[in-house]
Each structure stands twice: as structure tokens, then as C-alpha cells.
Amino acid sequence: MPIINSVKTDPNKILPIRYPWAREHYKSGVANNWVPEEVSMQRDVEQWKSTSILSATERRLILWNLGFFSTAESLTANNIVLAVYNHLTAPEARQYLLRQAFEEAIHTDTFIYCCDTLGLDPDEIYNMYQTIPSIRDKDDFVVEITRSVFDPGFSTEGMENTRLFLRDLVGFYVIMEGIFFYAGFAMILALKRQNKMVGIGEQFEFIMRDESLHLAFGCDVINTIRAENPDVWSREFQEELVTLIRRAVELEKRYAYDACPQGLLGINPEQFCEYVEYITDRRLERIGLTKQYGTGNPFPWMSQSTDLSKEKNFFETRVTEYQTGAALEWD
């Protein structure tokens, strides 16, 4: 029975498992549950209140990343509940989507925790997608390429509709969660490496671990759909997806320049852009598309936290304290 458009699938009957990778992603998520309150932000508060520890550039990138992520997580959660869940008919895939929706709620709670703890103005943070063009443009881009699947009458029946659904999956899993999040991740982790705002940095590491699972699941769904529907994966459609992804890279690079125009200690904005190109090539190859940039990794230290080949070692300093199941393992 296919993962979409299966009239024979009983949504209430999860056994026997047809797609074991979906079940494994679910178990990996459950094994690494977390809540933001586990992370102390006392030192973050002291640094934020200090007039000498954080530079204006560092304060700017913290605020901008909290502003972008706070609304991006809501966009992603809405897509899962209102679009993707309705059209994936495999029960084990739906089980993971419910887990992902829970994790998106945890991420939303994380930004509430950060704002409340630091005493930030919520109107400023949660309106940045409207007031800052490079944030608004990223959100608008994802909304535009996924608009059709939110139509209540949308169906994945037929080749063109299946392609629209694949565009949606690429838009949210590859572009939003796999590209648009990563310049911000690199910025916050760069601060953490300097022992600045470590509490926020640890929470972003938790989020990155979750997002890497979301990305892995999304890529597996995309690859399964194209394997079960090979006719939809035409050369023209592949070129269309590459064009969309390249446009996303330009938007993320613009955001990197805007959020951190002066760079950080030992890091310039161009390196954040190179990192976006580097991880984009990996996303492209993951779903069977040709890499576009050939850029090396300017941040080898990020490999311990975010790169797909290293994700099994993700966040060792905290995960082992509450992990109840098997360790994360996927390549």
C-alpha cells in the first residue's frame, strides 16, 4: 500500500508496519524528550542585563533569531496539522507527524521561555516577521510555494497534485527546516562557543537535534513518494525544485547578512553564507538532486551538532540525562 492515496489503508491499524523508517524516527524522538525549563538561563540573564558583555551585533542576532524562529515554528506546525497529516495515509507516518507536532509545540514554548526570562518585548519579537524584510521574505516564500495544499479541496490524486504535495514537503522539510533554520543555528552556536548566552545556545542545540530528525523524516517521505510514483520525478520537476531551493539559499544568505552584518569574533557574514551553501548541497543529494555549490564547510565545529553524518552524537552533554530509549542513529 502506498504512503499516499491508499484507499486500502485502515488509519486505525498501524500493524504490520510497512515503513519501518517512520517508526524508527518516532522512537528516536520519544527517546530524546526535553522541555526548555531543564536549561538554566541565570547566566544568560546576567549577560543580557550587562552593558559590557554583549556587543550591539550580538544582541541584534539574538533578537532576530528569536523573532524568526518564534513564527517559523508556528508555520511548520500548521503545515503538519492542516496539510501533511491529511494526505499521508500510512499510520506509522501519521504517528511520527503527531510526535513532530508535539516537538514544534515544545519549540514554541522555548521562545516563550526565552522571552519571559530575558524580559523581552513580545510584540517586538513576534512581529519581526512583519517588520523585518529578510524575515518576512523567508516566511512569505515558504507560504507561497505551499499555498495549494492548504486548499480544503486539495487532493494528492493525479500526477500534478502529487507534484504539488512534493513541493510542499520540499518547502517545509528541505527549505524551512533544512535551510532557513541553519544560519541562525550557526550564529547562536558561535555565541555559545564564546560562553555567551549559553542557555539559549543549549536550547537551540535541543531544537537542532529535533529538526535534524524532522528533516530526515521529510526526506524519507519525499524519497518514498518519488519511488512509488516515478513518473512525477521528471527532469523538469527536478529543475523546478532546484530553482526553488537556490532561491531559498539566496534568501537565507540575505538574512545572514542582515542579522549579523558585522560578523562575530573570528567569523564574517560570508562564512555564514558559505555554510548555507554547504548544507544545501547535502539536502539536495539527500533527495536525489544534484548539488549546486561545491562549497566546503567553513564551520567544522558545527559537525558535532548539526551535520547529518554527525547527528548520532548530537548533544551528548544533555541527552544522556533523560534519554529513555535507543540513541539517535541515522546516516
Identify the helix (H) or strand (E) that includes residue 303. Answer: none
Which pLDDT score is estimated for 301? 85
CA distances (Å), 217 to each of 7, 19, 97, in order?
Answer: 23, 11, 9
Residue with cell 495544499: 149
Domain annotation covers residue 327: no
Would you call 18 helix, strand, or coil by DSSP? coil
Domain annotation covers residue 234: yes
Residue with cell 503527531: 98
Domain annotation covers residue 113: yes
> Residue-wise pLDDT tens for the chain (331 aa)?
689 877 677 878 899 999 999 999 999 999 989 999 999 999 999 999 999 999 999 999 999 999 999 989 888 888 887 889 989 989 999 999 999 999 999 999 999 999 999 999 999 999 999 999 999 999 999 999 888 888 888 999 999 999 999 999 999 999 999 999 999 999 999 999 999 999 999 999 999 999 999 999 999 999 999 999 999 999 999 999 999 999 999 999 999 999 888 777 678 889 999 999 999 999 999 999 999 999 999 998 887 764 333 343 444 444 434 443 334 343 3
User: What's the whole-model pTM score?
Assistant: 0.90
Which pLDDT score is estimated for 305? 66
Domain annotation covers residue 224: yes
Domain annotation covers residue 255: yes
Q: Choosing from 113, 129, 173, 278, which is the catalytic residue?
A: 113
Would you call 267 helix, strand, or coil by DSSP? strand
CATH of the domain at 200: 1.10.620.20
322 is catalytic: no
Give Cβ neighbours of residue 119 (< 8 Å, ≥ 6 apart).
none
Domain annotation covers residue 294: yes
Which residues make beta-bridge pairs with 267?
A: 264
Which pLDDT score is estimated for 323? 41
Domain annotation covers residue 157: yes
Which range of residues forms the domain containing residue 292? 20-32+40-314
Domain annotation covers residue 13: no
How many domains does the chain contain in total?
1
Burial of residue 222 (CB within 10 Å: 0-12, 13-18, 19+) is: buried
